[in-house]
Amino acid sequence: MAKYAMAIDLNRCIGCYNCQVACKDEHVYNAFPPIAAEQPAFGQFWLSIEEREQVWNPSHIKVTYIPKPCQHCDDAPCMKAAKDGAIYKRPDGIVIIDPQKAVGQKDLVEACPYGSIYFNEAKNLPQKCTFCAHLVDDGWQEPRCAQSCPMSCMHFGDVEDPGSRISKFLSENKAEPFHPEYGTKPRVSYVGLPKPHLSGTVRLADTNECAADVTVTLTGPDGARRQAVTDCFGDFEFRDAPRGACQIAYELTGYASQSSRLELDKEITFLGEITLAR
């Protein structure tokens, strides 16, 4: 039995929204019993897209587009909240909301920490992405969202088949869950999720000039070390910095070394001016 999952390469996503349009084209006003009732034209996005903007400096703004289907969690909170087996996981890993048993269970919307469940007021029914299970059952290799992506950034398939496209992708890339703190064991993972950006400016105390060629070492919570060197303006930056408790150190020949601890819990952290003394 196949075990389906999806891995999304955000480094390739261009924000064209083709995946979202294809999802709605497949499901709006189309029912696929017993997997799903039709999706209404408005108010639901079984695949939503979050635009995450990071302003590193006035001339460098990075936007990451994050497609967000149902995560098809192995430890799904919605399944625990559902009554009478209204939400179930198929043997292939796909989580389905039963369009008959789930009628009236509006509280299931709040049970999903990812916000992936919507409520159809007309049908009195919670609904969500199905990984296009009706197509997969019909022999399709991927759901409509992945099939429509012009950048091929959505990888879907059997993770227990080492020869599958998704297995090959995951063997070559480090993918991670969206919001790992939820602990839901999602079957959707991402490459290129936005990480904290850390920057600062180093000056020399005796001359009040910008300090070029300062070696800046950032040690992460896991002990891994990364280094940067200040430019002619004394500026340095760490893109994709680790989250959590870190230590940062500054070294320049002829000046006293300096270090400090910091907690990286924001997407953008600017340390301001750091002054080195002889």
List, for residues 166-216, the tens digit of each pLDDT value: 999 999 999 999 999 999 999 999 999 988 889 999 999 999 999 999 999
- Among candidate residues 118, 103, 126, 137, the one with its CA nearest the CA of residue 68: 118
Beta strands in 176-278 (DSSP E): 188-191, 197-204, 215-219, 225-229, 235-238, 244-251, 258-264, 268-276
Residue position matching structure tokens 């796909």: 94
39: which strand partners? Answer: 28
Residue-range domains of the chain with CATH: 4-191 (3.30.70.20), 197-276 (2.60.40.10)
Average pLDDT over residues 122-130: 98
Q: Could you tell me what percent of the chain has a pLDDT over 90?
A: 88
So what's the pLDDT on residue 265?
83
So what's the pLDDT on residue 57?
59
So what's the pLDDT on residue 268?
81
Please state whether 123 falls in left (phi above 0), alpha (psi between -120 and 50) or beta.
alpha
So what's the pLDDT on residue 59?
58
Q: Where are the alpha helices (DSSP H) in 165-258?
A: 165-172
Whole-number Å distance between alpha carbons of 158 and 5: 7
Among 18-27, 51-60, 245-254, the minimum mean pLDDT is found in: 51-60
So what's the pLDDT on residue 56?
61
Among 24-28, 157-161, 173-177, 195-199, the minimum mean pLDDT is found in: 195-199
Q: Determine the 3-state secondary structure of 165 from DSSP.
A: helix
So what's the pLDDT on residue 58?
56
So what's the pLDDT on residue 93?
98
Average pLDDT over residues 256-262: 95
CB-based burial label for 65 (10 Å; 0-12, 13-18, 19+): middle
Whole-number Å distance between alpha carbons of 155 and 190: 10
Q: Could you tell me what percent of the chain has a pLDDT over 70?
A: 98
Among 55-64, 78-87, 117-126, 253-262, the minimum mean pLDDT is found in: 55-64
Whole-number Å distance between alpha carbons of 184 and 72: 9
Length of the chain: 278
- The CA-CA-CA angle for residues 142, 145, 150, to 5°, reads 100
pLDDT (tens digit, 9 = 90+) per residue, 233-249? 999 999 888 889 999 99
Residue position matching structure tokens 């919001």: 179
Asked whether the predicted pLDDT for residue 35 surpasses 70, the reply is yes
pTM of the model: 0.80
Across all residues in the chain, what is the average pLDDT? 95
So what's the pLDDT on residue 207?
94
Amino acid at 79: M
- Among candidate residues 73, 145, 142, the one with its CA nearest the CA of residue 114: 73
Whole-number Å distance between alpha carbons of 44 and 18: 16
Asked whether the predicted pLDDT for residue 53 surpasses 90, the reply is no
So what's the pLDDT on residue 55?
66
